Structure 1
Amino acid sequence: MKKKITLLFISFFILASCSNDEDSSIIPVAPVAPTAIHAVLNEGSVDITWTGVEGAGITYNVYRNAVKINKAPLTEAKFTDVLKNTGSFVYTVTANLDGAESTKGVVSEKVILELPKTKTMQSIDIYYDTKYEYAYTYDTSNITKLVSLTIKETNTDLTYKKVTVTNTVVKYTYAGNLITKMSYYSVDDIPRSSVENVYNAQKKMIGRIVKRSDGSINYTVTYKYNEDGTITETNDARDSGVGIYTFGKGNLVKYSITTPMREDEYLAVSNYVFDTKNEPTLNILGFNFFVNNSKNNEISSSTVITLNGELSSTESSKSDNTYNENGYVLTTMKTLKVSSGETLQTRQTVITYY
């Protein structure tokens, strides 16, 4: 009897050992990969969402350009990537369960963040050669937030061969994602003037207050939003009239202004045509709330000026642009002509990006 009990115990031990070996050899099965991944640029961040994977205990990892960017496993099907650099980015997402990670899911849309670094604009007519050199500086904690803009203006009087140089620094004040003030200084920090921007609760710009160097008000501009989508601009400066902005597809396509000039009735109507490429300041925080902001680049314009109801003159312009691989304008050559066909001005612009 003792022998039978011993054999039974040995058999049970072997069976239990085999069972434990089999359990330890089970490999976790990876879940399916997430689908429908979307990435949307939102100021200095990218909002990423995807279709969640069904099942208990599922977590996610997010990859930017094949590099994992979340520090801890994600339990929700969303993630915000705060960008520290400009560039071109795509995102993929994996699902995880019990230590097993899925293959990478569908690749998101390409997200492109370009910010202007420098801009050179040179205008030449029969009297003057004026060159503007711009240098942009951004906040290190928010790459799209403009801290300051340095402007060097070199003006050459072609008749008298006289050259004057003016240096200006523009400093930007923000409230959230709105630019509330632009302060203009000489390079030695002596105040020159300032512009305070006023917004309503819907973040629409409703006015601008232009001040002198001593803080006194020079003039104010107000904006009224009309039911037909146009914006009426009034300016309390002397001899300033009423302007009307008309927009289409995110661009300023028409601007008309009536200006009191002595006893004359003056009207100027300008129409603009745009390309489908990206305007250089498109991603600068706060610029999209400016009234006259456009998201694309002007390629032609025409202006008709009437005086007392009679045609006074016409002007037209044409811009030839080149673009980088991400669809942002690199160079522009603009030619402005009057009704006689005479070239009034040429202007060349060159832009670099971070």
Structure 2
Amino acid sequence: MKKILCLFGVLTLALASCSKDDDDNNSGNGTNAILVKTVTVTYPEYPSENSESGVTYNGNKLVSVSGKDSRTDYTYEGNLIVKQIDYEIEDGKDSKSYEVSYRYTNGKLAESIYSENFTSQYPFGQYKGRSVYTYNPDGTVKRDSYSTDYNTGIETKSPYIALLTLVNGNITKSVVTYTTPSSHYVYTSEYEYDTKNTPLKNVLGYSLLLGEDESSSNNIVKRTKFSVYGSEVLEPYVNKTTYEYNANGYPTKKIEYREDGVTVEAITEYTY
């Protein structure tokens, strides 16, 4: 999905709770809110992948993110984002590539349901699935995943289960386990953050979308990943990100580095 969504980054997996000040800023009129207008992504080693997108709003509500080759549209019910559709654009024509619907309970994301690979043969999407979120008393969130066979309609639970740890609106730890009768893997990610605003802080409803970057309270500066395959423990590796900020504490540039800490993977620039 997702080139446009990657402009905002992928897999922060954060959930932010709004303070009264945030509620005032996110009232929906957008009069004084600071909102991202354009996002430009540069890949030094893969310049053909460079992209620039414009972001449109209705007040503080996100309407679409549009680039040369792709677009993502958003649908709201009240102040909640309930649907997101990705399109690929070729020869001026839109072609749906991915769709996800969101369901909430007590103001928290309860379920996301997706379909992808829309073709003439599969007009409703070849691949379908959903994620179900359970909020634990200790502040962690469990995410169970399911997939549905297109031909039989039978739903199967995925062997992947994620447990997310939330601290002050930021995911500080994600543990994904994969267990089958013959295999057992564990993927752990630990995150460190700055104290600044995320680019999408003032977008109404975006802070509730677990799984999207910049739905967190702050910006990731370090991600450490650990992997265990059965009895084999692999060496951890680290990805670092640096930022430049404007006078209001919002990032104007994000630089993501590879594991060596020197090679630049991507540069993202924001205007407001």
TM-score normalised per structure 2: 0.76
Matched AA of 1:150: S
CA spacing shift, 1:344–1:223, aligned 2, 3 Å: farther
Q: How far 1:129 sits from its partner (Å)?
A: 6.2
CA spacing shift, 1:243–1:343, aligned 2, 3 Å: farther
Q: How far 1:295 sits from its partner (Å)?
A: 1.2
Q: Residue 224 of structure 1 aligns with which residue? A: 134
CA contact (8 A) 1:331 1:348 kept: yes
CA spacing shift, 1:209–1:84, aligned 2, 3 Å: closer
- Structure 1 unpaired stretches of 5+: 1-38, 47-81, 87-112, 153-166
User: What CA distance in whole angstroms lies between the structure 1 residues aligned with 2:182 and 2:262?
Assistant: 30
- 1:346 pairs with one of 244, 253, 265: 265
Say which one has the larger Rg. 1
Within a 5 Å distance, the mapping from 1:1-354 to structure 2 comes to 40-42=21-23, 83=29, 85-86=31-32, 113-123=33-43, 130-139=49-58, 143-152=59-68, 167-187=69-89, 188-200=93-105, 202-212=106-116, 213=118, 214-216=123-125, 218-237=128-147, 241-260=160-179, 263-292=182-211, 293-337=215-259, 341=260, 346-353=265-272
CA contact (8 A) 1:301 1:316 kept: yes
User: What CA distance in whole angstroms lies between the structure 1 residues aligned with 2:136 and 2:51?
Assistant: 36
Q: How far 1:262 sits from its partner (Å)?
A: 8.8
**RMSD value over aligned CA atoms?**
2.6
> SS at the partner of 1:190?
strand
Q: Percent identity?
A: 27
> SS at the partner of 2:197?
coil
CA contact (8 A) 2:62 2:74 kept: yes
User: What CA distance in whole angstroms lies between the structure 2 residues aligned with 1:318 and 1:190?
Assistant: 35
CA spacing shift, 1:44–1:305, aligned 2, 3 Å: same
Q: How far 1:347 sits from its partner (Å)?
A: 1.8
Q: How far 1:346 sits from its partner (Å)?
A: 1.7
TM-score normalised per structure 1: 0.59
Matched AA of 1:297: N
Per-residue CA distance 1:51-75 (angstroms, 9 max, x = gap): xxxxxxxxxxxxxxxxxxxxxxxxx
CA contact (8 A) 2:29 2:60 kept: no
Matched AA of 2:96: P
> SS at the partner of 2:166?
strand
